[in-house]
Amino acid sequence: MHRYFVTGTDTDVGKTRVAAALALALRRAGRPPTIVKVVQTGATADAKGDAARAGALAGVPYAELARFAKPADPWSAALAQGATLRARELVRRIDALEGPLVVEGSGGMIVPLGEREHLGDVARLAKLDVVLVVGLRLGCMNHALLTLEFCRAAGIPVAGTILVERWGPTHRSYHEDVTRALQGKSPLLGILPFAPEEADSVAAGANDLLPFINGSR
């Protein structure tokens, strides 16, 4: 079953584009998924969230489990509205969804949901395979390696990493440097090229991801 948790080396590194590209690749392979945003922050009730944006780009259904107006981590955003987030309740709602899933987190793997829980608990309890989005900028190797080490220690399976040219084109030699640092730690699933238009980046990423989707079960 294709059920993935899309996380990043940081915030704003291209997770939503990757979620859309992964979902589009699954759809093209005849396995259309539901895109799920675990916690949407920084959005009013009538604003378009990440899941809706990714769903539109991929042409698949989407769901949002929680939404808060404060532009902050899920714990802080929930507290601002007097709400409480529980990993097991979020997992229960994820488990109720049938078929392939592309679940998008917020920021990185251990962004807090509360005093003792974080998004990694959702990935672990829901038995989702991690797809790590590596935004290509200074510091990304360290952040990627720390995330992969956390997943290994927590027993969370990693499907692979995707490099993202989030802020502009990067040189091929830099791709090679990052890939070398991750070698033996995680398979490289593809590279999302920089494009001013999200749809162009998503379409290129989906093409890159099709071999991975078709080779997985």
- pLDDT computed for residue 46 by the predictor: 87
Angle at 143 between CA 108 and CA 123, to 5 degrees: 35
Question: Predicted confidence band at 170 (pLDDT cuts at 50, 70, 90)?
Answer: very high
Task: Tell whether pTM > 0.85.
Answer: yes
CA atoms 207, 209, 211, 213: torsion sign: negative
Residues with catalytic function: 37
For the chain, list the domains and their CATH numbers.
3-215 (3.40.50.300)
The mean pLDDT of 131-150, rounded to a whole number, is 97
pLDDT tens readout for residues 111-136: 999 999 999 999 999 999 999 999 99
C-alpha–C-alpha distance, residues 208 and 114, integer Å = 36
Residues 6 or more apart whose CB falls under 8 angstroms from that of 49 comprise: 37, 40, 43, 64, 67
Q: Rounded mean pLDDT of 107-113?
A: 96
Average pLDDT, the chain: 95
Q: For the segment 183-203, what is each residue's pLDDT rounded down to a tens digit?
A: 999 999 999 999 889 999 999
- Residue 172 contacts by C-beta under 8 Å, 6 or more apart in sequence? none
∠ CA 139-131-39 to the nearest 5 degrees? Answer: 90
Distance separating alpha carbons of residues 187 and 166, to the nearest angstrom: 20
